[in-house]
Amino acid sequence: MMRTIMHVDMDAFFASVELKRRPELNGQPVIVGGRGDPTRRGVVSTATYEARVFGIHSGMALRTAARLCPDAVFLPVDFPAYRAASDRVFEHLAAVTERLQPVGLDEAYLDISDRQEDALDIGRRLKADILASTDLVASVGIGPNRLLAKIASDLEKPDGLTWLRTSDVPGRVWPLPVRTLHGVGPRTGERLAALGVETVGDLAALPADQLRGEFSERHARSLQRAAHGEDDRPVQTERVRKSIGRERTFQQDCRSSGRLAYEARQMLDSVHARLTERGLAARTVTVKLRYRDFTTHTRSRSLSVPTDRLSPLADAVRECLFAHRLHRAVRLLGVQLSGLTPAAAAGA
């Protein structure tokens, strides 16, 4: 049976929730991120479309955003408000199908292959229901797989409703930047650019031997399939958590190994509490440092067996931390636990 996948993406979600509380800001460039203070370190979580025309995007430093758009209104992140709004949105998504895969608070994939109704009608009604109950706008993309559904939801933002079929790939997908494709991040994009690949169509036309000369056989095959709109990933109704972590960006670069050790332990205590709340055990500990020049290094240690005991995890965190070069100015510190399994099954 041909699959029909829907991707629902809330438009400028965090900013839209804020505008419902502050309607006087409608039509203005609004940026949500960090503590809402562009003089302090932090990154953009989202921005209204009025701010995006200045080149502002998620993940950009708040200070950079302030330089690009000095007149923007900066607001702090309010996750409890966003989670409450997300819960209301997902009630509508769950009413469409149980075959639902959340991706963060503001987007999800739905497998509607077993629905007899026209997919566009389902999407149109879903958008209207979300708007009526939350006053928030969703863009909906429909396709034969997750890749094309995701691309479709972005094509006509904001307030889009788009159906991409496989036959549409040459005309609608190939002209798009190659970074549009799932699995093409900054590094892969740079390597493809060195091969003269700028668009999805360029990638589709690239000889397979040339692609295999730059990437592994598996990666090259994956890129070729994506360029032709092919994607076998299922909608996963039960997502397995792969890691639990926490990061902190220091307001002033940290040069003290003692303070870094203290902060890393505080982070581990917080992460460990979440681990035990979920009844999980972890096998791998990772400590990440980002330095003043934005270079980022990680050090990891895997235990012989997964555990939920704090002591061996703390020893591993300390070992990973002091495997770094700590005499440099540290901008960001992160602690992550991965290789997660149910604690009972691990015998932790």
What's the CATH architecture for 243-346?
Answer: 2-Layer Sandwich (3.30)
Does the annotation list 202 as a binding residue? no
Distance (Å) of CA 311 to CA 246, 269, 306, 315? 18, 10, 13, 6
Q: Where in the chain is the domain with CATH 3.30.70.270?
A: 1-164
Q: pTM (2 decimals)?
A: 0.70
48 and 26 in contact (C-beta within 8 Å)?
no
Place of tokens 């990061």: 247
What distance, in Å, lies between the first and last C-alpha atoms of the chain?
43
- Where does the pLDDT of residue 59 fall: very low under 50, low under 70, confident under 90, or very high at 90 and above? confident
* Nearest alpha-carbon partner for 244 in 335, 344, 346: 335
Q: Where in the chain is the domain with CATH 3.30.1490.100?
A: 243-346
Distance (Å) of CA 177 to CA 132, 164, 182? 34, 17, 12
Distance between CA atoms of residues 167 and 177, nearest Å: 19
Q: Where in the chain is the domain with CATH 1.10.150.20?
A: 169-227
pLDDT > 70 in the chain, percent: 97
pLDDT in tens, 10-53: 999 999 999 999 999 999 999 999 888 999 888 899 999 999 99
- What pLDDT, on a 0 to 100 scale, did the predictor assign at position 345? 55
- What pLDDT, on a 0 to 100 scale, did the predictor assign at position 348? 47
Query: What CATH number was assigned to the domain covering residues 169-227?
Result: 1.10.150.20
The one catalytic residue among 24, 107, 156, 238 = 107
217 flagged as catalytic: no
Does the annotation list 9 as a binding residue? yes
CATH superfamily of 1-164: Reverse transcriptase/Diguanylate cyclase domain (3.30.70.270)
